[in-house]
Structure 1
Amino acid sequence: MDDLPHILVVDDDRRIRNLLQTYLIENGFRISVAATAAEAREKMRIVSFDLVILDIMMPGETGLSFTGWLRAEGNTVPVLMLSALAESSDRIAGLETGSDDYLAKPFEPRELLLRIRGLLRRQDQPGRGRAEVAFGPFTFHLQRGELRRGPELIRLTTREREFLKTLAANAGSTVVRGELAPEGSEEGARSVDVQINRLRQKIEDDPSNPVYLQTVRGAGYVLHID
């Protein structure tokens, strides 16, 4: 049992906590639960978790605020946010605060399981746990979302920054289009390609023959770092 991934579920809805606890235990995880951010904080002072499943809308401290505190403390535990808010602005706010993934309620339990396993796989990948990644003359700070070429700050749009955060966190490994634009979001495959091309204009000497941000045919994209 000690070898199983240990997940902390934080949600003020007891029914959801109980359902997630039962389902995830049945699928091979150790589970602890908390009803508030304050309770979660106390548990995390004692236990090192492999992943946190966190509701955004909670009484008192919100999931966004709690995630911001985690990142300010230097805690890089993967955070999967859950929310009844399905607007893209809410998803972006969660990612900008430092969460690793976002799932809108209601959701299919199988999709939650796939998201969890995907986040846990990323833990051993080259970009994970780094404050910043370097490629060629560029450095990208994951928490601040800052791209620099030497000392020069490169301006990024919100969408470009979000894409680059995902690519950098999974540097050296393929990021499928679905991770950049989850099914059901307003981002279609064409929109993803447009954002990738815009990023290439900013980081590649020859965007038509990219060195750093390359296409993996039939799958997605990979960011090659130094």
Structure 2
Amino acid sequence: MRILLVEDDRKAARVLARGLQEEGFVVDVVHSAEEADEEAFVTSYGLIVLDRMLPGQDGLGWCRALRERGVTTPVLMLTARDALVDRVEGLNLGADDYLTKPFAFDELLARARALLRRSDLARPSVLVVGALRLDPLSHALTGHGQPIDLTQKEFALLHILMRHPGEVVSRARIAEQIWKDDLLAIDNLIDVHMGNLRRKLEGIADPSIVTVRGRGFRLDVGAA
């Protein structure tokens, strides 16, 4: 199971990450909401452990933004604020559980496992379109049963298309969801990554990626 740990205290982050790894988790560590935002949109996580107080955008604001964008990954929020009003605010803005610092690692581990058990029923569905099978949680893709190795950006591109088979996904939507940037700034970059993705999917006729001029891209099913 992969966990995203968002903690600006680097020493505390190292200790928590090491403890979680010793319990069998795969842990990605970032130190700001901006870094976390990029990771969360190119990788599917089973759990996000999020410090409330972060440089720049705080953890509470980022958690709220995640929920507004439809991300349902469980969030365990860490904070030094133990007032009832702070806990209620965190839960109301999208956190699934709230742990006050200082805390025992065993308690964090128990709460993390409880959230993971609870979220198993709502874990991201494996997507199957034609000969492609994409597992968002394990970040695995196969075509005709054979593994296909993609970069994070290529995986994110295909993930968006496979969530909407037969529908046009606009360039602007791709730019915002994957790069968090204006389309004009990365339009050519989208074409580069899409071209690389198409090459890696060569030999898989169904589905195929179609460019819809002036609009975006569509994953065509039954095109062969």
Structure with the greater relative contact order (CA < 8 A, sep ≥ 6): 1 or 2? 2
Partner residue, 1:63: 59
Give the number of equivalent residue pairs.
Answer: 123
Divergent runs of 4+, >6 A? none
* 1:133-178 alpha-carbon deviations (Å, 9 max, x no partner): xxxxxxxxxxxxxxxxxxxxxxxxxxxxxxxxxxxxxxxxxxxxxx
Instruction: Name the % identity.
Output: 46
Question: Which structure has the bigger radius of gyration?
Answer: 2
Deviation at 1:124, TM superposition (A): 3.1
- Give the helix-richer structure, 1 or 2: 2
Match of 1:97 among 69, 78, 93: 93
Matches of residues 71-110 of structure 1 in structure 2 within 5 Å? Answer: 71-110=67-106
Match of 2:44 among 33, 48, 55: 48
- Secondary structure of 2:120's counterpart equals coil
* 1:20-39 alpha-carbon deviations (Å, 9 max, x no partner): 11000001100001100000
Partner residue, 1:199: none
- Secondary structure of 1:124's counterpart equals helix
Deviation at 1:53, TM superposition (A): 0.3
* 1:86-108 alpha-carbon deviations (Å, 9 max, x no partner): 11111111000011000000000
Partner residue, 1:9: 5
Deviation at 1:65, TM superposition (A): 0.3
- Secondary structure of 1:18's counterpart equals helix
* 1:65-117 alpha-carbon deviations (Å, 9 max, x no partner): 00011000100000000001111111111000011000000000000000000
- The one-letter amino acid of 1:52's match is I
Matches of residues 46-195 of structure 1 in structure 2 within 5 Å? Answer: 46-125=42-121, 128=122
Question: What RMSD over aligned residues (CA atoms) do the two structures have, in Å?
Answer: 1.1
Segments of 5+ residues of structure 2 without an aligned counterpart are 124-224
Match of 1:21 among 14, 17, 20: 17
The separation in 1 between residues aligned to 2:81 and 2:12, in whole angstroms, is 16
Are 1:32 and 2:22 an aligned pair? Answer: no
